[in-house]
Chain A
Amino acid sequence: RKEVEQDPGPFNVPEGATVAFNCTYSNSASQSFFWYRQDCRKEPKLLMSVYSSGNEDGRFTAQLNRASQYISLLIRDSKLSDSATYLCVVIATDSWGKFQFGAGTQVVVTP
């Protein structure tokens, strides 16, 4: 079983709609969580960190559920420019320093 798992999608979303997706992690020692964004044929870039109490950054909301070991990302009022692959990233205390990436969830926003 992979340490970090994501639904590969694609999630096809009409412009202006809301889309949400999860990422599950298997290591209970996981302590730091992130969402990265990767555009086609580009390098991954940090979208936002995920804090225990949940956090927002504009139209993006991230949540952490430690009991069920998953994090989520919600995108409101989707823009065409939100089309990308969203990568879930986890760092565990028993392998400190190791940024463990999920395979990504593809989001396609359509006009």
Chain B
Amino acid sequence: DAGVIQSPRHEVTEMGQEVTLRCKPISGHDYLFWYRQTMMRGLELLIYFNNNVPIDDSGMPEDRFSAKMPNASFSTLKIQPSEPRDSAVYFCASSSIPNVNTEAFFGQGTRLTVV
């Protein structure tokens, strides 16, 4: 398996534009997570899905952020409209049923810069 695949790796956009980040989890994993990482706030969990259903979106900063998982092999995180404070590295991760022996596998991240 190629691991968790995220695209794009880098995104530079102007304030006010729509940004869509994409993620393909590892096949067979039931859980998918979207994290945001900044120097100031560390790694924040934005939302996670179980079997394509959003379980907890309490970390989504505001209505400008939305996430979907239309099927087991694809998820998107959308920011509309984007703002400079959204600049961060966005990671997608997937795992099987979480327990002490489970690993969350991360994609390489999308580095978003909003100017």
Chain A interface (Cβ < 8 Å from any Cβ of B): 31-34, 42-46, 49-51, 87, 89, 91, 95-104
How many angstroms from the CA of A43 to the CA of B35 in the assembled complex?
11
Contact present for A51 and B100 (CB under 8 Å): yes
Stretch at the interface among B11-19, B20-28, B71-79, B90-98: B90-98
Q: Smallest Cβ distance from B35 to chain A, in angstroms?
A: 7
Q: List 16 A-B contacts (CB under 8 A).
A: A31-B100, A32-B98, A32-B99, A34-B103, A43-B109, A44-B106, A51-B100, A97-B31, A97-B48, A98-B48, A99-B33, A101-B42, A101-B45, A103-B42, A103-B43, A104-B42
Q: Contact check: which of B41, B50, B55, B95 meets A99 at CB < 8 Å?
A: B95
Given known A-B contacts A43-B106, A44-B106, A104-B43, A99 and B93 have beta carbons under 8 A apart: yes
- Chain B residues with a Cβ closer than 8 Å to the other chain, count: 26
Cβ-defined contact, B98 with A97, below 8 A: yes
A51 and B45 CA atoms in complex are apart in Å by 24
Contact A98 B56 (CB under 8 A): yes
CB-based contact A32/B100 at 8 Å: yes
Task: For A97, list chain B residues within 8 Å (CB).
Answer: 31, 48, 50, 55, 97-98
Q: B108 an interface residue at 8 Å Cβ cutoff?
A: yes
Cβ 8 A contact of A96, one of B42, B98, B108: B98
In the complex, the answer to whether B104 meets A46 with C-beta atoms within 8 Å is yes
